[in-house]
């Protein structure tokens, strides 16, 4: 069946958090479709279902040989939302195929199926795929996979089909999110030494942190960056029963309380411990202390040196051409980082051209999608198993 027809079928199956299909929910309909497709058309492969909760599963598709080339593709999408001028459940217009999930990342699933057909035809072994659940929501799918397969696999290359607008991406920055409550001491504004200004403490902490970030960098990922996401600061007047702090409004009181959420996009060599240590050193200069700190998110980074992606680069150059690597700031965190770091495996992210991902009128460029398929088939052709 032509690939565009397969894509149409996959996009038609809703796989957002409100989707319900017989026996399951969210991406379950897509998982069943993929399982049935492989079992019917790709008999050299076996499908292992990994249940992640009632009515949801990952699919690990392999050929019973040690996995050396692993493809990765999530099956869920965000909700369609509003504002579409095309059909969210799939519609071709000229050289674009519109629909929720067309680019992110059901075209990747179809390209992988083409690669599996190729492997079957030329009897290439060691090729496997993880089709996984819950990427757009809480990453439960990838975490379950890591927990069960960590010791069972050690692939030589991972190719993740997240959208990259037709280019390659060989890394992603990590994310550390910290939530603080900082405490100073109230005093009279006319006599700065009578109090400890919680806001000054925050500023010092931020300065120290920014100094640190400038000294850390990765040739591909660049420098880490800090986002001060929210700040609530003032002199405590009252703590409500629900723990909400009410501030006074007078300008002559030194603020003694500050709540702040910091988010740092990290690169290799930087983690939450280092960030906290340097931020606290900055605070200390002012006498402000940490009342509580909570690490709400800690996701690592990865960067594969391009020398390890020679084969992928050659194929890209032959089939696609032009600028090879996507600007790192065009893409956020990717779940594939967990696998790249786990096995220290060279990893590339490679999706077709398209736009409006997570928005209305998401589409994939049909010729770019076809090129992606060609590339994956060539990759299988030239893959050396050992
Ligand atoms: Zn995605």
- Three-state secondary structure readout of 221-275: CECCEEEEEEEEEECEEEECCCCCEEECCCCCECCCEEEEEEEEEECCCCCHHHH
CA of 56 to the centre of ligand 1 (A): 18
List, for residues 6-32, the tens digit of each pLDDT value: 999 999 999 999 999 999 999 999 999
CA of 71 to the centre of ligand 1 (A): 14
Q: Which residues contact 181 (CB under 8 A, 6 or more apart)?
A: 257, 258, 259, 290, 291, 292, 293
Interior angle at CA 159, CA 5 and CA 58, nearest 5: 70
CA of 246 to the centre of ligand 1 (A): 41
CA of 235 to the centre of ligand 1 (A): 44
Distance CA 144, CA 121 (A): 32
CA of 162 to the centre of ligand 1 (A): 5
Strand, helix or coil for residue 10:
helix
Six token digits for residue 123: 């009897």
CA of 289 to the centre of ligand 1 (A): 40
Residue 330 vs residue 39, higher pLDDT: 39
CB atoms within 10 A of CB 265: 24
Sign of the CA dihedral 76, 78, 82, 86? negative
CA of 17 to the centre of ligand 1 (A): 14
Label residue 141 by pLDDT band (50, 70, 90). Answer: very high
CA of 279 to the centre of ligand 1 (A): 33
CA of 63 to the centre of ligand 1 (A): 25
CA of 1 to the centre of ligand 1 (A): 25
Kindly give the pairing relationship between strand 91-93 and strand 96-98: antiparallel
CA of 182 to the centre of ligand 1 (A): 37
CA of 106 to the centre of ligand 1 (A): 9
CA of 280 to the centre of ligand 1 (A): 36
Predicted local confidence at residue 2, as pLDDT: 85
Label residue 36 by pLDDT band (50, 70, 90). Answer: very high
Residue 342 phi, psi dihedral angles, 5° rounding: -55, -50
List, for residues 70-123, the tens digit of each pLDDT value: 999 999 999 999 999 999 999 999 999 999 999 999 999 999 999 999 999 999
List, for residues 189-213, the tens digit of each pLDDT value: 999 999 999 999 999 999 999 999 9
Kindly tell me if the per-residue pLDDT of 280 is higher than 90.
yes
Kindly tell me if the per-residue pLDDT of 386 is higher than 80.
no
- What average pLDDT does the segment 138-156 reach? 96
Six token digits for residue 286: 């002012």
CA of 29 to the centre of ligand 1 (A): 17
Query: From the CA atom positions of the chain, what is the Rg in Å?
Result: 25
- What average pLDDT does the segment 124-135 reach? 97
CA of 298 to the centre of ligand 1 (A): 19
Residues 3-172+301-382, CATH architecture: 3-Layer(aba) Sandwich (3.40)
Distance CA 297, CA 295 (A): 6
Distance CA 14, CA 32 (A): 12
CA of 44 to the centre of ligand 1 (A): 28
CA of 352 to the centre of ligand 1 (A): 12
Distance CA 78, CA 59 (A): 20
pTM for this predicted structure: 0.90
Of the candidates 152, 149, 163, 146, which has an alpha carbon nearest to the alpha carbon of residue 103? 163
Label residue 166 by pLDDT band (50, 70, 90). Answer: very high
CA of 104 to the centre of ligand 1 (A): 5
CA of 229 to the centre of ligand 1 (A): 24
Distance CA 97, CA 111 (A): 15
Strand, helix or coil for residue 129:
strand
Going from the C-alpha of 96 to that of each of 76, 101, 102, 220, the distances in angstroms are 21, 13, 10, 31
CA of 239 to the centre of ligand 1 (A): 42
Predicted local confidence at residue 135, as pLDDT: 96
Percent of the chain with pLDDT over 90: 96
Of the candidates 73, 56, 60, which has an alpha carbon nearest to the alpha carbon of residue 21? 56
- Where is average pLDDT lowest: 4-8, 62-66, 315-319, 330-334? 330-334
CA of 74 to the centre of ligand 1 (A): 7
Please report, for the chain, the start and end positions of each structural domain, with discontinuous segments joined by +.
Answer: 3-172+301-382, 174-299
Of the candidates 356, 357, 355, which has an alpha carbon nearest to the alpha carbon of residue 368? 355
CA of 287 to the centre of ligand 1 (A): 44
CA of 227 to the centre of ligand 1 (A): 23
Label residue 328 by pLDDT band (50, 70, 90). Answer: confident
Written out in words, the top-level CATH class of the domain with range 174-299 is alpha beta
CA of 226 to the centre of ligand 1 (A): 24
Q: Are 29 and 119 in contact (CB under 8 A)?
A: no
List, for residues 170-186, the tens digit of each pLDDT value: 999 999 999 999 999 99
């Amino acid at each position: 069946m032509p690939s565009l027809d397969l894509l149409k079928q996959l996009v038609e199956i809703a796989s957002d958090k409100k989707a319900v299909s017989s026996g399951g929910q969210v991406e379950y309909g897509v998982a069943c479709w993929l399982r049935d497709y492989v079992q019917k058309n790709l008999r050299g492969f076996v499908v292992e279902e990994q249940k992640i909760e009632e009515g949801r599963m990952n699919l690990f598709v392999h050929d019973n040989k040690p996995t050396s080339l692993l493809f990765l593709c999530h099956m869920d999408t965000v909700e369609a939302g509003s504002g579409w001028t095309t059909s969210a459940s799939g519609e071709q217009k000229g050289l674009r195929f519109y629909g929720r999930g067309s680019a992110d990342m059901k075209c990747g699933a179809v390209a992988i199926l083409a690669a599996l057909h190729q492997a079957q035809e030329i009897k290439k072994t060691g090729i496997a795929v993880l089709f996984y659940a819950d990427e757009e929501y809480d990453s439960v799918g990838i975490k379950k996979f890591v927990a069960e397969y960590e010791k069972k696999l050690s692939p030589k290359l991972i190719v993740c089909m997240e959208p990259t607008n037709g280019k390659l991406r060989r890394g992603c920055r990590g994310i550390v999110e910290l939530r603080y409550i900082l405490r100073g001491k109230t005093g009279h504004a006319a006599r700065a030494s009578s109090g400890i200004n919680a806001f000054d403490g925050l500023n010092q902490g931020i300065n120290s942190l920014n100094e640190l970030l400038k000294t850390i960098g990765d040739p591909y990922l660049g420098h880490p960056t800090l986002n001060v996401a929210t700040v609530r600061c003032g002199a405590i007047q009252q703590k409500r029963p629900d723990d909400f702090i009410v501030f006074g409004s007078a300008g002559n009181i030194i603020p003694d309380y500050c709540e702040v959420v910091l988010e740092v996009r990290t690169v290799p060599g930087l983690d939450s411990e280092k960030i906290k240590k340097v931020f606290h050193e900055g605070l200390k200069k002012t006498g402000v202390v940490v009342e509580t700190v909570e690490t709400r998110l800690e996701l690592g980074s990865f960067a594969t040196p391009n020398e390890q992606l020679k084969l992928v680069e050659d194929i890209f150059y032959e089939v696609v051409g032009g600028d090879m690597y996507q600007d790192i700031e065009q893409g956020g965190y990717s779940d594939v980082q967990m696998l790249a770091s786990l096995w220290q495996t060279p990893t590339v992210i490679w999706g077709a051209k398209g736009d409006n991902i997570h928005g209305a009128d998401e589409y994939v460029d049909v010729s770019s999608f076809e090129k992606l398929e060609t590339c994956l088939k060539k990759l299988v052709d030239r893959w050396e198993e050992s």
